[in-house]
Structures are given as structure tokens and as C-alpha cells.
Amino acid sequence: MKVLRQKKVIALAIAAVLAMSALAGCGDEKKEAGAEKGKVYRVGVLQLVQHGALDDSNKGFVDGLAARGYKDGANIQIDQQNAQGDQSNLKTISQRFVNNKVDLIFAIATPAAQIVANETKTIPIVGAAIVDYKTARLVQSNEKPGGNVTGTTNHNPPQRQIDLALKLVPKAKTVGALYTSSELNAQLQVKAMKEYAAEKGLTVIEATVTNVNDIQQAAQSLLGKVDFIYCPTDNTIASAMANVAKITVPAKIPVFVGDETMVKRGGTAGISVNFYKLGFQAGEMTADILSGKSKPADMPIGSQEEVRVIINQEAAKAIGLSIPEELMKEAQ
Amino acid sequence: MGDLMVSTVAQGLLWSVMAVGLYLTFRTLHIADLSVEGSFPLGGAIAAVLLMENHSPAAAIFAAGAAGMLAGAVTGLLHTKLKIPALLAGILTMIALYSVNLRIMGKANLSLLNIDTVYTSLTFLNLSPNMITFLVGLIIAILIPVLLYCFFGTEIGMALRATGNNPQMIRAMGVNTDAMLLLGLIISNGLVAVAGAFIAQDNGFADVGMGVGTIVIGLASVIIGEVLFGSRSVKNPLISVVLGSIAYRIVIAAVLYLGMPPNDLKLFTAILVAIALSMPLFKDKWDSRKVG
């Protein structure tokens, strides 16, 4: 009897799973029928995790497409997916896109792009929130990708932040680098920063964190040792910028950052890239690919041309920084 | 649809190696070993570094397994020699491995795109990439449980199983239970690292963050397998774990397919595992009501 009942449970479970897949199958067919009628392009969006900068890229992408006449729900269907930081979900989602034969995949953040690039060599892939496409082996070169991957980079040369810092803190001798050790993008920026700092005769002290809970201590460890702190565009630090400010502002240590939102949340100043604009640009590139105007192989990795100096007046005042006239004019 | 099924099952097969490793500690030794969240990316890291230096995929996978065993030994020694509770010992190893993995890779993410892997070495079979993954998954999902089953049949294997079931009795019989715990953790983490090596090659990169959530995936696979496919005898649970891993992937794929809001996904996973964990209780109640 017991065995029989167990078998029933198994049968029910299998039936449930099959029913779910069948339901999913129906949805799929409908979508395809629509595609044939009105030439509706289907774009899959794969985002690594819910996060300010990545959300901005995503929003910019959708708006960029709309600006070129590809309106979601009308002549284009955008399938939004988010792996919620679980890298095994990235695989499942990217397989789904490839199996559904979407027309293009928009990948936000490096692991997302790598996983889809490994899954398909034919479907065009546009990326965003990726610092170095070449190091991630997504393209042959950033000028001429050569494959099915292109996109925009949020690479923000650290030289800019250091130059700005030296204008505001001319007597600086030591710089602290505060970043997340698990973020490739942050690592690459800090590496470039160290090279440039050496050129300028600055000593670099690094403090790395693994998650938001380490930030307070890491920032604390730099106090008294450094003249200013540099933060790259780093997801973890960005999300806890207020926490950093709580320590650095009373200690009168300016923090120079590469992302606008980080200045708003307590950073002192920065020369910023804008993730929304970079997403927008990626949306425009996507429109060019969908309309057949260009191929990913020939499209250089886009970067933000005009960057802005942003100064957090309140923080600067609290730290006691005097801001030169010319910078004031340039800044926002 | 068929292709999606193949790739989903293939994922389940690859992940089943990790789940089998977890089964060994969780069900056989009754330890929830958190060091797997570090040994999984450790396997991926070692494999990626070796593959980038043009070593063969086989060498990369064996080296990954050996490194995982070393990690398991650390947890085992912390637990048995220094008497640190198993849960804590696992957490300590997991934290330590984060730094070790960063050292091994030199950075947070190593790309394996356009590098020869175990999967590209099979392209001569002229199959689709999904079929190759499926094939590789099938081979390891059969081979590893069979090897483990054979091991369970040996004297040491039996002592290992008995250590989890009744430590007092087995100690009275002159078996060193600490040595058995150590051995179990070594084998388990070795398997988890091997899984990490296979999955990193399949994903196309090794990332220091790839271990996040693996313990949940592994436990969910073990428990779903037990609930759906039973756990009697020695051979049956191993088969159940593999099937459970596939079932877990199918559920996740179906949920993503149906367009669940991504923010709810983790909650859903937790509910799924909680339901699976409480199933035996409900089944007992159901059974006793029928009899009464």
C-alpha cells in the first residue's frame, strides 16, 4: 500500500512539472505567432543583480531603443530577466533566450555577458556595465570586436579622479584605494590608478572589502594614513557610500569617486560616468543592429564621451576643501 | 522546447555532482558543511587557471578535485582536532577560501571564452553544445555515484556510513570516528570542487562569487530527491540525489519561464526547500490517518 501511495505522489509531482512546462510552451507559441505577423523583434535582457547602476543601464537601454522607434510591446518585445546575484540562474536564463531564438540579447554586467557569449556565437549580444571587454575575453579588441558581442563600457580612467583630487588636495602624498575584492571591474580600475599614482609620486594604500558589512572597518583602517581616498565604480561601495561618508567626513578625508550616485550619497567629488546614458547608448547600438545597419563585429565598444565634474558642496564644506573658481564653473 | 529540456536536464546532471558531495556530509555524516560555498569556486578557479595555461581539461579537473579535498581536510581538522563545531568549521574554511580563490585567479573573474575545455574537446562528436553538456553530465552523474556506491561497500565505506548513524556503537567497535569524519569531508569537498570545475567550463568563466547559494542548491537537490524518489537502501539515495538535482533545475527553469518577478525568486526557493523538508512529516501524518 505504502509503495503504491508513494508512486502516486511521484506521478502527481511529475504531472505538475509537465503541466507547468506545457503552460510555458503555450505562451511561447503565442509569442512566435505574433512575431510572424507584425515583425516584432524579441530582445532578451539579462541582468546580474538588482542594483542602482545596473538598473539605470537597463532603463537607459529601454529608453534608447524607444528613442529609435522600438517601443516595448509594440514593434519589439523586451523579455526582462534578473538572476538576483545567483550565477547558476544566469545559465538557465541565457539558455532560455537562445532556445527561444531571440533576435538580440542585452547583457548587464560581466558574468552575464560571459555566460551568454559562451551560449551563442550567432545571436548578437550587446553589453553594458562592463569595464573591459577584452580582459573578459568577450571581444578580440575593443575597437573591432570581431564576433557577435559589442556594447558600452563604464570604464572611467582613474587618471581623471586623481587629477581632480590633486587639484583640490595639492599637498597629497598618500592615496587610499577602497574597493571590493570580488569585482573584476573595480580591480582593473585600481590597477590603472596605482600605475598613474606612481607616476605622480603618490603612495597607494589599499583596503578591500568582501561585502557591505566590511566597509566601515575598511574605511576606518585608512584614517590617519591617507590624504584622500579613491573609490572606483564599485557596486558594493556604491551601495554603502553613506556609510563611508559617515567615517570620512568627520575625519576630514575627501573621497573621490567615479560614479555620480556615489557623489550624491556622500562622496566628495568625482568625474562621473552615467550608467543611464551608457545604457541609452547601448539601446541605440541595438537599434542599429536590429535594423540591419551594422553588425556587432564592426561596432567599437562605446564609451561616454562627455564626462562631468561633480562636487558634493556639502561634503566639501564639511571637510574644509576650498574649491578653485574654474572647477566651480565646470562642476554641477 | 525540447532543446530547453535537454539543456535543463544537462544542468541538473552537472550540478548533481555537487549535490552528491553534499549528500555525503549532510545525510551520511549529519553535518551541514558550509565550506562547499568556498570549495565550489575553488574547483572553478583551479580549473580555469590550468586551462588558461593550456593544460588538458582532465588534468584541470583532477587538480580541482585534489584542491577541494585539501579544503575538506582543513574543515575536517578544524572540526576533529580543534573541536570547532562542524557548522563553524565550514564557515571558517569558506571565508578563508574566498581569499585563496582570489590569490589563485589573481583577479575576481577569469574568462574561459575561446579556451579549450572538456566540452570543446568533444566537438569531434558533431553534436550541439547542449547535447555535449548533456553527455558530459550523464557520464559524470553515473560515474561518480557508482564509484561512491562501490566505496560504500568497502570496509572503510561501511565504517563511514556507520559513523553518521551511530557514532557510539562504531567507536565501541574500534573505529576512529574522527578519521571517518575527516575522510567524509575530504571526499565531499573533492566532489564539490570537481562540480565547480565542470560548471565553470560550461559557463565560460570562473568567478569568485560563483559559490554563493550553492549550499541551498545542493540541499534542495538532496531533499527534493528524497521526497520524490525515496531514500531506502544504499544505492537508492544516490540515484535520488541525481534525480533531485534535475528536478530542482526543471522547477527553476519552469519558474523563470513563467516569468516570476526576479525579486521573489529567492523566497520561492526557500519555500520550495521548506516544503520539501516538511514533506516526510506530512506523509507520516497522512499514513497514520489512513491506518487509523
Mean pLDDT of chain B: 91
Mutate to test the interface with B, among A2, A8, A12, A21 (most CBs of B within 10 A): A21
Query: pTM (2 decimals)?
Result: 0.83
Give pLDDT, residue A11: 55
| C-alpha distance from A288 to closest chain B C-alpha (Å) | 26
CA distance B71 to B100: 10
Residue range(s) defining the domain that contains residue B101: 1-210
> Model confidence over B178-211: pLDDT tens digits?
999 999 999 999 999 999 999 999 999 999 989 9
For chain A, 332 residues long, give each residue's pLDDT as a single digit of tens: 455 555 555 555 555 555 554 444 444 444 433 334 467 999 999 999 888 889 999 999 999 999 999 999 999 999 999 888 888 889 989 998 998 899 999 999 999 999 999 999 999 999 999 989 999 999 999 999 999 999 999 888 899 999 999 999 999 999 999 999 988 889 999 999 999 999 999 999 999 998 888 888 899 999 999 999 999 988 889 888 888 998 999 899 999 998 888 888 889 999 888 899 999 999 999 999 999 999 999 999 999 877 888 999 888 999 988 888 888 877 76
Residue of A nearest to B95 (CA): A210
Give pLDDT, residue A175: 96
Give pLDDT, residue A49: 86
Cβ-based contacts of A83 with chain B (< 8 Å) = 262
A186 with A180: CB under 8 angstroms?
yes
Q: Which residues of chain B have pLDDT under 50?
A: none
Q: Which three cell numbers stand for residue B276?
A: 520539501
Domains of chain B: total: 1
Would B288 be classed as within a structural domain? Answer: no
- ipTM attached to this prediction: 0.78
Would B56 be classed as within a structural domain? Answer: yes
Give pLDDT, residue A32: 39
Q: Which of A6, A27, A114 shows the shortest C-beta gap to B204?
A: A114
Give pLDDT, residue B85: 95
Cβ-based contacts of B133 with chain A (< 8 Å) = none
Would B70 be classed as within a structural domain? Answer: yes
Q: Which of B204, B262, B287 shows the shortest C-beta gap to A81?
A: B262
Mutate to test the interface with B, among A1, A51, A114 (most CBs of B within 10 A): A114
B93 with B78: CB under 8 angstroms?
yes
| C-alpha distance from B183 to closest chain A C-alpha (Å) | 29
- Amino acid at position A185, single letter: N
Would B182 be classed as within a structural domain? Answer: yes
Would B238 be classed as within a structural domain? Answer: no
Q: What is the bridge-based pairing of β-strands A203-209 and A228-231?
A: unpaired
Q: Which of B99, B111, B247 shows the shortest C-beta gap to A114?
A: B111
Give pLDDT, residue A104: 97
Q: Which of B4, B228, B229 shows the shortest C-beta gap to A99?
A: B4
Cβ-based contacts of A99 with chain B (< 8 Å) = 1, 3-4, 7
| C-alpha distance from A324 to closest chain B C-alpha (Å) | 38
- What one-character-per-residue DSSP string does chain B give? -HHHHHHHHHHHHHHHHHHHHHHIIIIIS----TTHHHHHHHHHHHHHHHHHTT--HHHHHHHHHHHHHHHHHHHHHHHHTS---HHHHHHHHHHHHHHHHHHHHSSSEEE-TTS--TTGGGGGG---HHHHHHHHHHHHHHHHHHHHHHHHHSHHHHHHHHHHH-HHHHHHTT--HHHHHHHHHHHHHHHHHHHHHHHHHHHTEEETTTTTTHHHHHHHHHHHHHHHH---SSHHHHHHHHHHHHHHHHHHHHHHHTT--GGGHHHHHHHHHHHHHHHHHHHHHHHHHHH-
| Contact across the interface for A9 and B228, Cβ inside 8 Å | yes
Please report the number of interchain residue pairs, chain A to chain B, with beta-carbon separation below 8 angstroms: 138
Would B257 be classed as within a structural domain? Answer: no
> Model confidence over B226-257: pLDDT tens digits?
888 888 888 899 999 999 999 999 988 888 77
Residue of B nearest to A93 (CA): B256
Give pLDDT, residue A103: 97
The residues, ordered by sequence, that sit 6+ positions from B29 with a Cβ below 8 Å of its Cβ are B160, B163, B164, B180, B181, B184, B185
Would B87 be classed as within a structural domain? Answer: yes
User: Over chain A, what HEC string results?
Assistant: CHHHHHHHHHHHHHHHHHHHHHHHHHHHHHHHHHHHHHCCEEEEEEECCCCHHHHHHHHHHHHHHHHCCCCECCCEEEEEEECCCCHHHHHHHHHHHHHCCCCEEEEECHHHHHHHHHHCCCCCEEEEEECCCCCCCCCCCCCCCCCCEEEEECCCCHHHHHHHHHHHCCCCCEEEEEEECCCHHHHHHHHHHHHHHHHCCCEEEEEEECCHHHHHHHHHHHCCCCCEEEECCCHHHHHCHHHHHHHHCCCCCCEEEEEHHHHHCCCCEEEEECHHHHHHHHHHHHHHHHCCCCCHHHCCCECCCCCEEEECHHHHHHHCCCCCHHHHHHCC
| Contact across the interface for A99 and B266, Cβ inside 8 Å | no
Would B277 be classed as within a structural domain? Answer: no
